[in-house]
Amino acid sequence: MTSQTTLDILLLSFGVIGLLTALTLLGEFLRARQPEGRADPVVETFMTRVHSWWAMVILLSLAVLTGEVAVLLLFAFASFAALREFLTYAYKRRADHLSLALAAFVILPLQYVFVGLGWTGLLAVFIPVYAFLLLPIVSALRGDPQRFLVRVAEMQWGLMICVFCVSHVPALLTYEVGDGAEDRSVLLIVFLAMVVQFGEFFDYYAGRRFGRRKLAPAVSPKTLEGVLTGIAAAALIGAGLSWITPFGLAGAAAMAAMAAAAGMFGSLVFAAIKRDKCVKDWSHLIPGQGGFLDQLAGVIFAAPLFYHVTLLVWG
């Protein structure tokens, strides 16, 4: 890794760590204002979230600094954890046991091997075409036709969401920024993660503060005002981060706005799935934020779009 890239990553990490320190101090200040021995649940929730962000920032910084393999392993594990949560609530029968095991233990690792090798053609069709055709065959061979289409559809959806889409984040590593700085593509991962996270953060708090018009009241409390604030905030942050991207000032703002918008609609889709499955959180693995899927929902929807537009416009 060139020293310039390392320097930029460190600079970013310290910036985010400074921000998290400020949020932690703010939380502790709010805690201290509470009467002796009392705790405000809103403040406590906020603090568990901040603690989880600390863990995520430290993990992602270390992975990005260590190099490509560490980033791949990190996202492969995130895929595995997300798939584990998705399949827990998916409709499945005994006859699907082998196909689900294949999905988790063969197709998932292979997808990340293709990403690591930079076989961009194969990584784009492997799950949507070949896993899509193979797994129903395996299920059908076990000979149980009951609700077959529901079973294979939910299985395929899990793979697309948790493996295919998530793998487009490390797939950004295959993109070459040009003019001799090919390792700077790792910064795009940081850019994507930051603008989507900040977009969601502003959407959530702006929506609670002055949100009026609900986008889909039966599905989620998301409001038009919250979403627009989130997108605007993401665009500003994206513009502020344009120095780590090849997009230029306006391009970075546009890419950030697009990624944040896709991410918010991703959260909306996941809210609908959770309502349907009657689950509040996908698991308890990330304190204060539910499971990996709750956390990744935004990035999942933003990643493929971000990857393809980057390649198309700046490739």
- The yes or no reply on residue 97 touching other proteins (CB under 8 A) is yes
- In single-letter form, the type of residue at position 21 comes to T
Total binding residues toward other proteins, as defined by CB under 8 A: 26
What is d(CA 260, CA 198) in angstroms, rounded to the nearest whole number?
Answer: 8
Q: Which of 20, 26, 59, 279 binds other proteins (CB under 8 A)?
A: 279
Give the x/- contact pattern for other proteins in 46-85, rule: CB under 8 A.
----------------------------------xx-xxx
Helix, strand, coil shares of the chain as percentages rounded to 5? 80, 0, 20
Q: Which of 14, 105, 130, 210 binds other proteins (CB under 8 A)?
A: 105
- The yes or no reply on residue 88 touching other proteins (CB under 8 A) is yes
- The yes or no reply on residue 280 touching other proteins (CB under 8 A) is no
Contact window for other proteins (CB under 8 A) among 91-99, 169-177, 184-192, 207-215:
91-99
| Pair 291, 169: CB distance under 8 Å | no
Residue 254, CB-side half-sphere exposure with 13 Å CA sphere: 9
Burial class (CB in 10 A: 0-12, 13-18, 19+), 141: exposed
Question: Nearest Cα to 257, choosing from 202, 205, 312?
Answer: 202
Question: Nearest Cα to 260, choosing from 297, 310, 290?
Answer: 297
Query: Closest CB to other proteins among 16 and 155?
Result: 155
Q: Which of 65, 283, 289, 311 binds other proteins (CB under 8 A)?
A: 283
- The yes or no reply on residue 100 touching other proteins (CB under 8 A) is yes
Give the x/- contact pattern for other proteins in 139-158, rule: CB under 8 A.
--------x--x--------
**Rule CB under 8 A: which of 284-303 touch other proteins?**
284-285
> To the nearest whole angstrom, how small is the minimum distance from the Cβ of residue 104 to other proteins?
5
What is d(CA 309, CA 87) in angstroms, rounded to the nearest whole number?
Answer: 30
Angle between helix 68-89 and helix 108-117 axes, rounded to 10 deg? 150
DSSP annotation string for 214-233: BS-TTT---BHHHHHHHHHH
Q: Which of 87, 152, 188, 252 binds other proteins (CB under 8 A)?
A: 87
**Rule CB under 8 A: which of 203-232 touch other proteins?**
none
Q: Name the residues that contact other proteins, by CB under 8 A.
A: 80-81, 83-85, 87-92, 94, 97-98, 100-101, 104-105, 147, 150, 277-279, 283-285
